[in-house]
Chains A and B, each alone.
Chain A
Amino acid sequence: MGNFGQLMDGFVVALTMHHVMIMVIGVLLGLVVGVLPGLGAPNGVSLLLPLTFTMDPIAAIILLTSMYWGALFGGSTTSILFNIPGEPSSVATTFDGHPMAKQGEAVRALTLAFGSAGFGAMVGVVVITLLSGWVANFALQFGSPEYFAVYFMAFASFIGMAGGSPFKTLVCIMLGLAVGTVGMDTISGEGRLTFGITQLTNGISFLIVVIGLFGIGELLLTIDEGYKFDGVKAKLSLRVILRTLAELPRYWVTLLRSALIGCWMGITPGGPTAASFMSYALGKRFSRRGKYFGKGEPEGIVAPETADHSAGSCALLPMLALGVPGSATAAVMMGGLMIWGLSPGPMLFTTRPDFVWGLIASMYLGNVIAVVLVLATVPIFAWILRAPFTVVGPLIAIVCLIGAYTVSNHVFDIWVALGFGLVGYVFKKLEYPLAPFVLAVVLGDKAEDAFRQSMLSSGGSLSVFFEGSLVATMMGIGILLLSLPLITALFGALFRRGREEGQTHSS
């Protein structure tokens, strides 16, 4: 109840004309930044940071977080339309979003994505409102073994996902892990797999990999197989948007499951990217229409988008309460907090309640504004799709290359992206799954760090992963998820044999 009262005070702070204007500007800027791959939320926020020096901290954080929401929404747009994820966390949205857009239902795909994203964000903010006091203490319970367990769960849920050749999945994961190890190793301080190339010492940015694999890879595939985009058929109408929004409640099971996964991964150190992957994988496993995932299935869009946004909102909580940024964007915002003279940490909630609750209230408003604005842009994006490939193709190529360059202003990265474009093309031709590869690049490095930190602090004993109740539970769920295909296969075989035996007996 105390929280609720403070939230109302927060709304008083956030609901001024000045602040609402700032939200609109922030969301619009965020949309632009999110749509351009490579530019991304972290870069956008750090570009805006100097502007905030002269603002008061509340207005400043509202501007930055609104931009963050805008970028999260914008990132999904390019995923769906061009198969280029604008943000790392919207990679999983490409799996079904792009096929659906290709079938001429771009408007439906975008609306589904934005609608479920808005729902996810709202759940995330509600969780923050209700649990803010408790989460800070909970997050403190996470040592390295717990970190590893969270990543292990994400991996397990994905590996456990049936489909395709298990051998090919394994190959992709291994290659992904190898790409993830490139660069400076946190534990030893040595460069790995850099082959003496100095540009590689900082590792290969995940964004570059994704721009190459998805954006350029898809482009090559389109050139090879011919343009099959049914964008022309896309009916541009408000009715489609409204009908799709009305369709959303039908997926309430997926929405709720994904929001829960998202909140969990946002509060724990998993983060939005892992959340969207995990939610997609579990959606594929548990949905009745799971076998249609990857072919333009609505639930395949709803699952990752909901989880992505609820995780994105929840990830702000550890930042405020502990001073540990949950994502690259949060790290930049935290730098901002310090420059404005605030120190994030357990005391922020008591010393500056107006700031914290003003921010939380602005998250409610900012997300509503973002959903409305982003839905308004759907017709514009649908219109772009009507352009012939001779126009869209080169445009995508340029956007990809500029995106690769802007990640960290390296010309070298453009070559890396082109290289991964070839890899993506070959993988698709040979039907190697890209998702496990991407997941391994994102989480491999973090999981390895957490594992080695646990080993260092336990003196090399694996029992640390089963000692605490929290870590043991998570590892248990992970192992269960991992062995699920095996168990179902086993049960299936037993059941079938039982039936066959029954049949032979009866005959």
Chain B
Amino acid sequence: MQITSLRKGVLTASALAIGLTAANAAMAEWKPNRPVELVVSAGPGGGSDIFTRVVQAALTKNDLVETPLIVVNKPGGSGSEAFNYAEDNVGSPYKVYFGTQDAYVLPLGTKVNYAMKDLTPVASMVFDVFILWANPKASGINTAQEFVAKAKENPGKVRVAGAKAKDADETVVTLVERAAGIDLAYIPYKSGSEAAIQVAGGHIEANTNNPSESLEQWKAGNQKPLCVFTSARLTDKTVVADGMSWADIPTCVESGIDVKDFVQPRTVWMAADVPPEALAYYTDLMKKAMDTPEFKDYTTRNVQITKFMTGDELKTFLAEQIKNYEKIYADNNWLLPASQ
């Protein structure tokens, strides 16, 4: 009797040991064994959607993944639907979420069904910069100084178009108003390209935008960049139009509008409580995606600042960003009432 039970014990122990080694192996080389969903916090065709699909194309074309990647758009509630989906899928290693600053800014101003603790930050891959544009022909504005002067002469009359209300564009416009001591009329459109066309057509004086959304209108002479909201000038020296390159655009600080480093990070997230080996796998995968020619084309075309952040660096960055946005939202009176 004793012997058999002893034997049993040995058997269980060895079975356990085998199990453990298997687990160790899995820990070292975790790989998804079924399709992975890439969840986008925006509808098809938008900036976040293109970012996600570029990652999908880069990984698929270069055989960096073995299982299919499926892009799923969840634009509901300004994108909160995507992160809410993360809350519903706690610990799932088969879902990766793509967004911008929306992941941490949305909970500040709107009632959402998720909190930051429901998300695990994976990486921030690139920064989209913002540029202040004007239509030189219709508005007579050629420089940021002229823009400020015109706004001072006509308080509340100079119109600036942007995408959506209380989003990145309106935020940067309020920052400009405060920094330059001017009063502008912000007019929200459904998308950044729609806003750009209004300026190109001469219906609105200026707009704020990511470079790629106004690039073609700049080449056609319908729009002109006034200044860029970064602390240092852009680096791309290829001439775009009128003998000017991206690097020739002055920073807004140089032009007397003290708004620097207003940039849009392209962020990647997973749900809370995901296995650490899966997190490591996707962090590595995103790093690999960044080195592909497809992704490099994308960042060049969109005049983005490439800076891969992960781990503690990312956490510090996020904490700082949230603090900044809380301040801006408080100043603009956009914060969600505490009672809700």
Residues of A within 8 A of B (CB): 42, 46, 49-50, 53-54, 139-144, 184-191, 196, 198-199, 201-202, 322-325, 328, 331-332, 334-335, 338-339, 341, 343-348, 408-410, 449, 453, 456-457, 459
Q: Evaluate contact between A140 and B164: CB separation under 8 angstroms.
A: no
Select one of B72, B198, B220 contacting A143, CB under 8 A: B198
Cα A219 to Cα B178 with chains together (Å):
59
The residue that B77 contacts in the complex, of A144, A198, A323, with Cβ under 8 A, is A198
Q: Which residues of B contact A348 (CB under 8 A)?
A: 216
In the complex the two chains form, is A198's CB within 8 Å of B113's CB? yes
CB proximity of A262 to chain B, nearest CB, Å:
22
Q: How far is the CB of A351 from chain B (nearest CB, A)?
A: 9
A456, B189: Cα distance in complex, Å: 12
Contact in complex: B44, A50 (CB < 8 Å): no
- Contact between A140 and B201 (Cβ–Cβ < 8 Å)? yes
| Residues of B bordering A, CB below 8 Å | 43-46, 49-50, 53-54, 56-57, 60-61, 69, 71-78, 80-81, 84, 109-113, 156-157, 159, 164-167, 170, 185, 187-190, 193-194, 196-198, 200-204, 212-213, 215-217, 219-220, 222, 297-298, 301
The reply to whether B222 and A140 contact each other, CB–CB distance below 8 Å, is yes
Whether the Cβ atoms of A202 and B166 lie closer than 8 Å is no
Can you offer 23 A-B residue contacts whose CB atoms are under 8 A?
A46-B44, A50-B69, A140-B202, A140-B222, A141-B201, A143-B204, A144-B187, A188-B165, A189-B170, A202-B75, A323-B197, A324-B193, A331-B44, A332-B45, A334-B45, A345-B217, A346-B216, A346-B220, A347-B220, A408-B73, A408-B76, A456-B159, A457-B203
Given A339-B54, A453-B187, output 19 extra A-B contacts at Cβ < 8 Å. Answer: A140-B197, A143-B201, A144-B198, A144-B203, A184-B78, A186-B189, A189-B166, A198-B113, A323-B213, A324-B197, A339-B57, A345-B216, A346-B219, A346-B220, A408-B76, A410-B76, A456-B187, A457-B185, A457-B203
Distance, CA A94 to CA B193, complexed state (A): 34
Residues of A within 8 A of B69 (CB): 50
Decide: A347 and B198 in contact? CB cutoff 8 A.
no
Residues of B within 8 A of A143 (CB): 198, 201, 203-204
- With a 10 A CB-CB cut-off, give which of B71, B164, B201 has the most chain A CB atoms: B201
B185: chain A residues within 8 A (beta carbon): 456-457, 459
Contacts of A323 in B (CB 8 A): 193, 196-197, 213, 216
Q: Which residues of B contact A325 (CB under 8 A)?
A: 45
Q: In the complex, A190 Cα to B60 Cα: how many Å?
A: 39
For residue B255, give the distance in angstroms from its CB to the closest CB of chain A. Answer: 25
A335-B201 in contact given A184-B77, A186-B189 (Cβ < 8 Å)? no
The 6 residue pairs across chains A and B that have the minimum distance between CB atoms = A345-B216, A189-B165, A143-B203, A331-B45, A202-B76, A189-B166
Residues A189 and B216 in contact in the complex (CB < 8 Å), given A53-B61, A343-B301: no
**A142 adjacent to B201 (CB under 8 Å):** yes
Q: Which residue of A lies closest to B302 (CB)?
A: A338
In the complex, which of the residues A46, A50, A198, A331 contacts B60, with contact meaning CB atoms closer than 8 Å? A50
Residues of B within 8 A of A141 (CB): 201
Complex Cα gap A46–B46 (Å):
12
A201 lies within 8 A of B216 (CB): no
Structural contact, B216 and A344, CB atoms closer than 8 A: yes
B189 lies within 8 A of A53 (CB): no
Q: For A199, list chain B residues within 8 Å (CB).
A: 76
Complex-state Cα separation, A143 to B202, whole angstroms:
8
Alpha-carbon distance between A408 and B43 when the two chains are bound, in angstroms: 10
Q: Which residue of B lies closest to A459 (CB)?
A: B157
Measured CB to CB, the closest approach of chain A to B193, in angstroms, equals 5
CB-contact partner of B212 in A46, A196, A343, A456, under 8 A: A343
Residue from the list A46, A184, A322, A346 in contact with B73, Cβ < 8 A: A46
| Residue of A190, A335, A457 touching B45 (CB-CB under 8 A) | A335
Q: Which residues of B are found within 8 Å of A42, using beta-carbon distances? A: 44
What CA separation (Å) do A137 and B26 show in the bound complex? Answer: 60
Residues of B close to A341: CB separation below 8 A? 297, 301
A54: nearest residue on chain B (CB-CB)?
B61
Q: Say how far B49's CB is from chain A's closest CB, in angstroms.
A: 6
Q: Which residue of B lies closest to A43 (CB)?
A: B44
**In chain A, what residue has the closest Cβ to B204?**
A457
Q: Distance (Å) between the CB of A271 and the closest chain B CB?
A: 13
Cβ contacts under 8 Å, B198 to chain A: 143-144
Instruction: Give the chain B neighbours of A185 by CB distance below 8 A.
Output: 165
Is B187 in contact with A202, judged by CB distance below 8 angstroms? no
Residue of A nearest to B219 (CB): A347
Collect the chain B residues with CB atoms within 8 Å of residue A409's CB: 72
The residue on B at minimum CB distance from A468 is B203
B256 to chain A, nearest CB (A): 26
Give the chain A neighbours of B187 by CB distance below 8 A.
144, 453, 456-457
Docked pose: A185 CA to B189 CA in angstroms = 11
**Which of chain B's residues have a CB closer than 8 A to the CB of A187?**
165, 188
Contact, CB under 8 Å: A201 / B77:
yes
Which partner residue on chain A sits nearest B196 by CB separation? A323
**Chain B: CB-nearest residue to A202:** B76
Provide the residues of chain A in CB contact with B156, threshold 8 Å.
Answer: 459
In the complex, chain A residues whose CB is within 8 Å of the CB of B75? 202
Q: How far is the CA of A53 from the CA of B190 in the complex (A)?
A: 27
- A198 partner residues in chain B, CB cutoff 8 A: 76-77, 80-81, 84, 111-113
A144 to B213, CA, bound (A): 19
A345–B215 CB distance below 8 A: yes
Nearest CB of chain A from residue B331's CB, rounded to whole Å: 16
Name which residue of chain A comes closest to B76, CB basis.
A202
Q: A53-B61, A331-B44 are in contact. Are A186 and B188 (CB under 8 A)?
A: yes
Residue of A nearest to B75 (CB): A202
Bound form: Cα–Cα A322–B197 in Å: 7
B45–A201 CB distance below 8 A: no
Selected contact of B217 from candidates A201, A339, A346, CB within 8 Å: A346
Most buried by A among B76, B157, B297: B76
CB of B44 within 8 A of CB of A201, answer no
User: What is the bound-complex CA distance between A142 and B204, given in angstroms?
Assistant: 11
> Residues of B contacting A339 with CB < 8 Å?
50, 53-54, 57, 298
Given the known A-B contacts A335-B50, A345-B216, A459-B157, are A189 and B188 also in contact in the complex, defined by CB atoms under 8 Å? yes
A410 to B84, CA, bound (A): 13
A50 touching B56 in the complex, CB below 8 Å, given contacts A189-B165, A347-B220, A457-B159? yes
Cα distance A339–B53 in the bound complex, in angstroms? 8
Q: Using Cβ atoms and an 8 Å threshold, which residues of chain B touch A139?
A: 197
A272 to B200, CA, bound (A): 25
Please give me the residue from chain B that is nearest to A453 by CB atom: B187
| Pair A140/B157 contact, Cβ less than 8 Å | no
Roughly how many angstroms separate A427 CA and B244 CA in the complex, as a whole number?
Answer: 61
Interfacial chain B residues near A322, Cβ < 8 Å: 197
Query: Hey, which chain A residues are within 8 Å of B73, CB to CB?
Result: 46, 408
Are B220 and A345 neighbours in the complex by a CB distance under 8 Å? Answer: yes
Q: Is the CB of B212 within 8 A of A49?
A: no
Contacts of B80 in A (CB 8 A): 198, 201
Chain B residues whose C-beta falls within 8 Å of the C-beta of A410 in the assembled complex: 76
Q: A346-B216, A347-B220 given as contacts; is B49 within 8 A of A140 (CB)?
A: no
* A203 to B, closest residue via Cβ: B76
**Contacts A142-B201, A332-B44 given: A49-B53 contact, CB under 8 Å?**
yes
Smallest CB–CB gap between A478 and chain B, Å?
A: 20
In the bound complex, CA of A408 to CA of B75 (Å): 9
A165 to chain B, nearest CB (A): 35
Q: Could you tell me the distance in whole angstroms from the C-beta of B64 to the nearest C-beta in chain A?
A: 14
Considering only CB atoms, which chain A residue lies closest to B109 in the complex? A189
Q: Within the complex, what minimum Cβ distance (angstroms) separates B160 from chain A? A: 10
A88 vs chain B, min Cβ distance (A): 16
How many Å lie between the Cα of A348 and that of B69 in the bound state?
A: 31
